[in-house]
Amino acid sequence: MPVLRQVRERFAAQRPLEGLRIAACLHVTAETAALMRALLAGGAQVGLCAANPLSTRDDVAAALAEVEGAAVFARRGEAPEEALDELVAWRPQLTLDDGADLIVALHEADALEDYLGGLEETTTGLVRLRALAAAGALHRPVLAVNEARSERVFNDRYGTGQSALDGIVRATNMLLAGRTLVVLGYGPTGQGVAQRARGAGAVVVVCEIDPVRALEARMEGYEVMPALAAAERGDVFVTVTGVRDVLRAEHFQVMKDGAVLANAGHFDVEISLGELRALAIEPPVELIPLVEEYRLEDGRRLHLLTGGRVVNLAAGEGHPAEVMDISFAGQALAAEYLAGDGAALPAGVQPVPDGLDVEVARLKLEALGVRLDALSADQQAYREGWTPPVAAPSPAPGSAP
């Protein structure tokens, strides 16, 4: 993670987070550990709990606690509620969230006396925080790191796109070429899944409710249709909507025998597990780890991956380190900003300053050895001015070229 390493080295020299208590509720993975190390290098005390109990790497949690001195409240498979209470009691000044659980818990416990604000890294968390703000109950600024330009493109499209498919393939060892893969939701995340599935040779069908995104999918060359029509066609289904019950009884009833159901959305609500259980004639059987078979009355079998939990983390290792390098370097810089000028922002969900995003992309390009052009002073003035360009005089007729 060369970008984050550069940030960490600067932090170690400048100590911009000296003495701050920073708590994070993130996936406890090796990449998250690299972010925690950057914050520690910046002088912060760091506390960490798991945003999803299935993604916790116990070795990483132990190393962070024992070697790096972070306060870690995470163990694979353990429910996160108690750990959240521990972090709230720790009275963090800054928070890093993936799903807003920690910010919401701090607000619910009215533990805001030292709290400056937070960062939120996923769409679902931002939806919750905006709802909290609309109810007049969000009392600190929260930077929408998920909506930074670099984040939407690299993390959601390329990161989730690849890692969601990787999770499905790891869990099932299936060949995607020639299969029909249905993507439900064509946001940046769904776009990534669709793009990578097509690259692996799948026939991709997209289901959307937003006309602009549906049109975009169609113009990208995918088949677009309602979920009920796609339910009959698909071999593999991937939900990435941020909405509940996107696949439910009416869809299960018409799916093919052996259809695979996976969710890459944040919460395990996108595939209606209640309706799937109700339709099944017996409790599900674990065919192989992470794959449950639900048998229906007419003999068809539906295969649910990772219990409907986020498939790229529960069956794989989440986003590749290169992607998290960009995301987490952005978060380290956002934490620095929030510890300084950003603390004066009004309460509510706030955009990440554009300069910070540009800085991350610049560092990443540098790490990749990619150079780019810059505008000349004349071009810059032209771009920002309002006067029409002065045309160069045309040569007189008959004059030498």
Where along the sequence are the contacts to ligand NAD (CB under 6 A)? Answer: 122-124, 156, 160, 184-190, 207-210, 213, 227, 240-243, 246, 264-266, 310, 312
Mapped onto helix, strand or coil, the DSSP state of residue 366 is helix
Of 17 and 168, CB closest to ligand NAD: 168
**CB of 108 vs ligand NAD, minimal distance in Å:** 21
**CB of 103 vs ligand NAD, minimal distance in Å:** 15
**CB of 202 vs ligand NAD, minimal distance in Å:** 18
Of 172 and 189, CB closest to ligand NAD: 189
The dihedral formed by the CA atoms of 87, 90, 92 and 97, expressed in degrees to the nearest 10: 0
CA pseudo-torsion sign 8, 11, 12, 13 = positive
Of 141 and 265, CB closest to ligand NAD: 265
**CB of 160 vs ligand NAD, minimal distance in Å:** 4
The residue at minimum Cβ distance from ligand NAD is 187
Of 119 and 227, CB closest to ligand NAD: 227
Mapped onto helix, strand or coil, the DSSP state of residue 282 is coil
Question: Which bin fits 99, alpha (ψ -120 to 50), beta or left (φ > 0)?
Answer: left
Of 17 and 194, CB closest to ligand NAD: 194
Which runs of consecutive H residues, i.e. helices, occur in 181-272? Answer: 188-199, 211-219, 227-233, 249-252
**CB of 120 vs ligand NAD, minimal distance in Å:** 10
Angle, nearest 10°, between helix axes 188-199 and 161-172? 60
Concatenate the DSSP letters of all residues of 226-238 into one string. -HHHHHHH-SEEE
Asked whether the beta carbons of 57 and 81 are under 8 A apart, the reply is no
**CB of 172 vs ligand NAD, minimal distance in Å:** 17
Which residues contact residue 170 at a Cβ distance below 8 angstroms, ignoring those fewer than 6 apart?
A: 315, 316
Residue 211 phi, psi dihedral angles, 5° rounding: -60, -40
Of 48 and 227, CB closest to ligand NAD: 227
Of 186 and 237, CB closest to ligand NAD: 186
Side by side, which strands form the sheet with 94-97?
A: 71-73, 45-50, 21-26, 94-97, 117-120, 141-144, 348-350
For the chain, what percentages of helix, strand and coil (3-state, to nearest 5) are there? 45, 15, 35
**CB of 191 vs ligand NAD, minimal distance in Å:** 7
**CB of 351 vs ligand NAD, minimal distance in Å:** 16
Angle, nearest 10°, between helix axes 321-339 and 30-41? 30
Of 42 and 192, CB closest to ligand NAD: 192
